[in-house]
Chain A
């Protein structure tokens, strides 16, 4: 086992996931399967392979610093759970 149930619990906390005890056990198992597979991949000799930063063979995709109209405020706020004074209203974060 590469990852413990406690580590999965911490990961769930960081990811804001509410896992049941069964979920936690199941995820611990499946993440370990993935990690085992990565171990297998790690056995490959990649000493002559450049580390990949992206899956696409693209680089330097830029745009010019040119202003375009913003989204209308009503549209920007359309998905707000609640709205007040033109702002998204959310529960206070401690």
Chain B
């Protein structure tokens, strides 16, 4: 049986964080009542004249620069014609042959190897409206249309078909999301649709140069969905090949609940968008000065920051990758390290309990009530031995839930670590007296018995005894 290799390219749509839409002054705010953010321009009423939002062009150039693209000196908008009720004009204003940016790349890390994935192009376009189907999509007889999202600025980022596994595709999307978030041009919230991903997938016998026929996968609303949809699609295509069939070029929609992809429509004949230059919008001439000016607004990007974290803080590469994957997390980390200069300890807490609690509550960094200074303060208490590692976890959970200062929690709950040798010694004596069997075992050479005895002392002190001291005293007495 032939071995097959998947070939994957991604098309990612990112909603830009501007105040107003791409061609009119209507609001882009998310979550308003239906049709509250529209105007004659975005509703496509006759006789209106769209005018490009300068910020959209700036943001698109910024994205292009962050993705190592060449910025077009001359760019224009085109009409992409198709009929669908989410598009009031019956065309979408997009870019066809002269996109704002081309020929870029980004780098991903998979299994410890760095791989470069090409960016074919970045272009600007307007978003479409939202259709709400009554009942299920298959049995409702009409749709309700909300045009709030119509005209919200998007950039579409098209990759080269450079990815060879679902893991690489996932890593690409993660990196792309991180880069875009760092530039501040989008929130990149997949659940709110401000980051959307379609995938072009084909398979070919290993060693074959020529690509197989591809299917376009849509409707993957999370990283997990992307991964699952790709695995499913690759299997489906390999099966068709092995059974001697032919993969047809089509668009397929991922059904997350059922875990299958379904054919939407055959792309072979239906899709002819008949692009032509948008006559209502004049071309854009992008000067080198303008590009240079935008370049100066680029922040330190994830790759640079990651390298700096390894260099400056001596962190393992893994920690640096995780911490810098989100700008807010990296900012948080650095603010904390500034006040508690033990970079690895801070990293362990942020990647450990901090992330665990945050993910359990589906929170984002900005929602977390613990301030970096408070985490630093808690780590100082831990370092000074005022609290034990075990107590620190309890305090941390309290801080996470309430946002209170660690020292207040320590005082209030009486959690100060017992480091008074006399106090611990008397408890140690009691524990030894009450557990003669373990004492005997330890003396007979069973080292595990010591762990049990330490546990008993900790239990008696409600976890407050200084563990180092407990160990030392127990060993002495034994």
Contacts and interface: CB of A to CB of B under 8 A. Distances in A.
B282 A54 contact: yes
Contacts of A85: 34, 144
A64 to B, nearest CB: 6
Interface of B: 18-20, 25-27, 33-40, 43, 45, 51-57, 74, 76, 81, 83-85, 98, 131-133, 140-147, 269, 272, 274, 277, 279, 281-285
A14 B272 contact: yes
Contact of A61 (B52, B140, B142, B147): B52
B83 to A, nearest CB: 6
11 contacts: A54-B283, A62-B52, A64-B53, A65-B19, A71-B38, A71-B40, A88-B35, A88-B144, A91-B142, A91-B143, A92-B133
B267 to A, nearest CB: 14
B405 to A, nearest CB: 40
Nearest to B77: A53
A65 B142 contact: no
B142 A59 contact: no
A66 B28 CA distance: 11
Interface residues of A, number: 34
A91 B141 contact: yes
A90 interface: yes
Contact of B282 (A60, A70, A89): A60
Given A16-B83, A54-B76, A84 B26 contact: no
A21 interface: no
Contact of A63 (B52, B143, B285): B52
A68 B41 CA distance: 13
A9 to B, nearest CB: 12
Interface in A31-72: 53-56, 58-68, 70-71
Contacts of B45: 79
Given A66-B19, A85-B34, A91-B142, A54 B279 contact: yes
